[in-house]
Structure 1
């Protein structure tokens, strides 16, 4: 060990300390041996090693020439930076919620999700969260289109065509039934998934339930329909009701009659007032079309337009037996409620009417040309009412 007695303290540069420490990390070298070779004390070299490991000794080449002085930002720039950071955090927070919508665990589904959202979220971030490689995603994207994907695209275009053809009235069950009629082999769940992905949603309307008025006057007609089995042929059981439609600030009233066997609308009438003449007009149309011979059960709600003495007398003269809802049970006439709900969802809700005449024309077209002849009815195994009656007559 070199003697340090009487020697003045020597100042060493940072570069010298750095190089000396690096020598001690070589193979087959010791701190003592390096210190003797450099004529320095081993304790000093050991202290330099500790400072090096703590990051206090660096090479002159790695030391910055000038200390970095943070730029002073204006208030607007600072706010802009904060807004940018908030947007980035919101994006990172929303991504896991989006990822949670992936139902399967296949890589192809994950890659499809990344491709669909690549304009919203960074590809690298999505790959990291989904635990897939970025190179794998780009390789998948550059592959030729698979047969499954071609089939999926064809189904999407066909479903969209049928959806537009129904004037956006068909949901997935009826679209599925229509595809099967065309000879297309596909599952219900696949049709529902494709429609959900395409954002195709059938028109719908809220159901409003109104409580029937309880008066002793209405109790004289009971609910006969609830104790009878379902009809097995046409002209056994009918049902009727009245609904209201607003056109240019004016309320109009629509009365309709349905055959409960085939769910066919056999009579309807439109007027500005809700009177017994309105209900009688729809009944007269039904009687003219059906030419009934045996007694028919006619079920309605407990409205005055059906329970009036004149209307009840008219029904008896035409061999029609009256039946009415139980007080407080509007679901007793569910078939009519369902028809009016469908009418408002598929026609009234999204159609502009100029006046009463325009409404009358479009309602007539909907009932006669679409609802009775074309619309697939779920209660009839997805057959239109007229086709259902035709099959029943030929059976």
Structure 2
């Protein structure tokens, strides 16, 4: 497959620029995260900064200076709050494992000495600092050294995924690094040290309205969720994200071969334009050849004349799931589920714009370029796409 020059929609460019501005990160770091050239992203930033109507470039109003006494009191309260927070965290992290066992208490202190003061942990756990330092001087076994090295690698892999990886993907990361630890050993160490993947219970909103008289396409894939090459089968669906302003709706298009999200759009509505914008992005970025199959549910957005005209114009064949059968489009759940459990359910978005920035970073910076996907052998969608090039 011949590599093509990347093409970006205006929505993509604006989200990338707003991420630079809102996070106050350098252009270079954001460009690296999304696989862009520094000069390209800097040109987008310069262009959008010249737009007078954009609220993103308005200077922040400076607050009224506080008095010296107020500043001193605030500093004291912050220091006290920080101490209370550390004591609470120490107890919370240790209570399930320690059971007043000095060796386990010392191990906990050793594991967390970079996060909390040693004397504070000794006081909370009711052990002496002298006892801890004496325990530290004992000869360390080879197994203990090996466990410590492995634990550090596990924590690094878990931290690099922003807490999203459970033991299977942590094991895949370490295997890529050449570490021979078994998946069972990694799972036991993660459980013992309280290292868990973030998760949250699902919330449901109806996004599919199949009560219409529009034409329904045949199911051309019949749950055969395989593709021989990129741009042979695309899947499409819509989900929702709660914000204080109301729902934000996300339409996405996935390439079944690489599991890459090749098109997406976010709006405050679920109208045809939302789904069409995601499809347009996918076509513009991937430039597929005729014969591609596009599979979706029977929602009015995908059955609409406008959407079908776009498919026909690009030489794409439409395919639709059976009525009320979510399993006919199951691979889309491999995107929506981690989006919700690893990101959305751990945020409290005040505005739709805030959610858009976060989701853009998740899709383009993490899901497509960094996340290891079990369905394609624990590699990233970008790597899978490159293997076929």
Secondary structure, counterpart of 1:223 in structure 2: coil
> Where does residue 349 of structure 1 map in the other structure?
345
- Once the two structures are superposed, the pairs formed by residues 1-395 of structure 1 within 5 Å of their partners are 115-116=103-104, 144-207=139-202, 215=211, 217=213, 220-226=216-222, 230-393=226-389
RMSD: 3.0
Matches of 1:217 and 1:293 in 2, distance apart? 30
Secondary structure, counterpart of 1:221 in structure 2: coil
Contact persistence 1:171–1:201 (CA under 8 A)? yes
The Cα shift of 1:209 comes to 7.1
Matches of 1:314 and 1:390 in 2, distance apart? 27
- Which range moved further: 265-274 or 223-232? 223-232
Secondary structure, counterpart of 1:339 in structure 2: helix
Secondary structure, counterpart of 1:243 in structure 2: strand
- Which range moved further: 221-230 or 373-382? 221-230
Secondary structure, counterpart of 2:231 in structure 1: coil
Secondary structure, counterpart of 1:383 in structure 2: coil
Secondary structure, counterpart of 1:241 in structure 2: strand
Contact persistence 1:209–1:330 (CA under 8 A)? no
Matches of 2:325 and 2:271 in 1, distance apart? 22
- With normalisation by structure 1, the TM-score equals 0.62
Contact persistence 1:239–1:258 (CA under 8 A)? yes
- With normalisation by structure 2, the TM-score equals 0.62
- 1:272-328 deviations in whole A, cap 9, x for unaligned? 011000000000000000111222111111211111222222211221111111112
Matches of 2:214 and 2:333 in 1, distance apart? 20
- 1:93-135 deviations in whole A, cap 9, x for unaligned? xxxxx9xx9xxxxxxxxx99884389xxxxxxxxxxxxxxxxx
More RCO (CA 8 Å, sep 6+): 2
Secondary structure, counterpart of 2:343 in structure 1: helix
- 1:327-352 deviations in whole A, cap 9, x for unaligned? 12101111112211111111112134
- 1:123-154 deviations in whole A, cap 9, x for unaligned? xxxxxxxxxxxxxxxxx999632110111122
Secondary structure, counterpart of 2:242 in structure 1: strand
Matches of 2:100 and 2:142 in 1, distance apart? 15
Matches of 2:203 and 2:244 in 1, distance apart? 21
Contact persistence 1:276–1:308 (CA under 8 A)? yes
Which protein shows a greater Rg?
A: 1
Secondary structure, counterpart of 1:349 in structure 2: helix
Matches of 1:331 and 1:214 in 2, distance apart? 16
Secondary structure, counterpart of 1:274 in structure 2: coil
CA distance 1:291–1:112, change in 2 (3 Å): farther
Matches of 1:349 and 1:324 in 2, distance apart? 29
Number of residue pairs the alignment of both structures matches: 267
> What runs of 5+ residues in structure 1 fail to find an aligned partner?
1-97, 102-110, 119-139
> What runs of 5+ residues in structure 2 fail to find an aligned partner?
1-95, 107-134
Matches of 1:219 and 1:205 in 2, distance apart? 37
